[in-house]
Amino acid sequence: MKPKDIFGLAVRLLGLYFLYLGLYALAQMLGSDIINSPEKMDIVYALLPVAFDLIVGWWLLGGGLLVRRAYPETSRPSENFTASPNRTAPAPPPVSAPEPAGMDQAEKKLAALVEKPKEK
């Protein structure tokens, strides 16, 4: 199996896990006394995690978007990397040696003035 196939399988398995979580939370909610609660917001607050888990699970089961994002398909990779034989790259201009700074010039002049005596 290619890494792309393994990644796609992992995304779909994660989608199944989220569907399981959503269905399990829905079963727990239906078995509790939350439906008979006088507060209507309690039902909304109980349904939000269930809806989130089911939506994410359904989206991951499709898995196409994440796999395409992780492994984009290139239409023609050879076009991106082939160089045209007729086109030549311009030659870089010759690099001249940098001129010494003012202190370097002064040190060279001083060294020329102060020479060590030669031993015979």
What tens digit of pLDDT does each residue of 12-21 get? 999 999 999 9
More confident call, 75 vs 60: 60
**Reported confidence tier of residue 41, pLDDT bands at 50, 70, 90:** confident
> Within a domain: residue 63?
yes
Domain span holding position 69: 11-73
d(CA 55, CA 18): 9
**Residue 43 within any structural domain of the chain:** yes
Number of domains, the chain: 1
- Confidence (pTM): 0.55
Q: How many CB atoms lie within 10 A of CB 15?
A: 19
Residue 44 covered by a domain? yes
Residue 52 lies in a domain: yes
Residue 103 is assigned to a structural domain of this protein: no
Residue 86 is assigned to a structural domain of this protein: no
Mean pLDDT (whole number) for 52-79: 82
Residue whose tokens read 């007729």 = 86
Contacts of 26 (CB under 8 A, 6+ apart): 50, 54
Domain assignment of residue 119, yes or no: no
- Tell me if 85 is assigned to some domain: no
**Residue 86 token pair:** 């007729």
Q: 7 with 68: CB under 8 angstroms? A: no
Per-residue pLDDT, averaged over 109-119, amounts to 74
